[in-house]
Amino acid sequence: MKLSRILTAALPPAALALAVALAGCGRGKQPQALELKYPNVTARTVELASGYAVPQTMTFTSREGKITTASSYNIHLANFPLDATQNGRKLNNLLGRDEQVKVFITLIGEEGDIDSSPPRTGSHSPKADKFRKVRIMTISTRAGGKGEEFSLRPEQTAGEVKVTSVRNDTIDGQIDLVDGGMAIKGPFSAKIVRAGK
């Protein structure tokens, strides 16, 4: 019998459970990754290093003059550390190095929501009329000192963005969007950037 088995067998149940838990903690959380497709790139796996979501209030005016609001969460996901200072203003900076990739998605909430409203869990569709909609979807890349941005067209994009949970000011979800030869697929987490924090 191996020494490790002898030591494990000798441990009381409580100590054994603690040892198993500590062993699991050492493995760490697996990094998230997105599968991307865009012009001249048929498949690219991008391991995410950071993600942030900046809330805003959107205003809609109907033909009858009725004014309504909805929350708008601008989600930034990247394979490099993003700078979320200045209330998230620096998240819109251009890519500064080759091989950097950023995905930007805007999720519109329910009618009546405002920027302080929590994100709505469940599905958001690019083809929705106004609410629970995926409004903007872009892939930004940089190679050879040149930056490019590719936009998925809402009216041509199939799929959804599903928000699976919102806890501790963090949005977790799953992206599944396809527009012809362009696609964004995979899990994500984004820390909500609140004004003044």
Q: State whether 14 and 42 are in the same domain.
A: no
Higher pLDDT, 26 or 107: 107
C-alpha distances out from residue 137 to 2, 59, 75, 101, 105, Å: 55, 20, 10, 14, 5
In whole angstroms, give the CA distance from residue 173 to residue 163.
4
The answer on 43 and 9 residing in a single domain is no
Mean pLDDT, the chain, whole residue set:
88
Contact between 131 and 109 under an 8 Å Cβ cutoff? The reply is yes
Residue 101 lies in a domain: yes
pLDDT band at 196 (very low <50, low <70, confident <90, very high): low
Asked if residue 176 is part of any domain, the answer here is yes
Residue 197 lies in a domain: no
The pTM (predicted TM-score) of the whole model is 0.84
Nearest of 186, 149, 189, 144 to residue 43 by alpha carbon: 186
175 vs 75: CA distance, rounded Å: 12
Give yes or no for a contact between 176 and 185, defined as CB atoms under 8 angstroms apart.
yes
Residue 77 and residue 16 share a domain: no
When pLDDT is averaged across residues 138-144 and rounded to a whole number, the result is 97
Dump pLDDT digits (tens) for 41-82: 999 999 999 999 999 999 999 899 999 999 999 999 999 999
Q: Which domain holds residue 11?
A: 1-28
Tell whether 132 and 166 lie within a shared domain. Answer: yes
Residues 20 and 89 in one domain: no
pLDDT in tens, 159-186: 999 999 999 999 999 999 999 999 999 9
Cβ of 3: how many Cβ atoms within 10 Å?
7
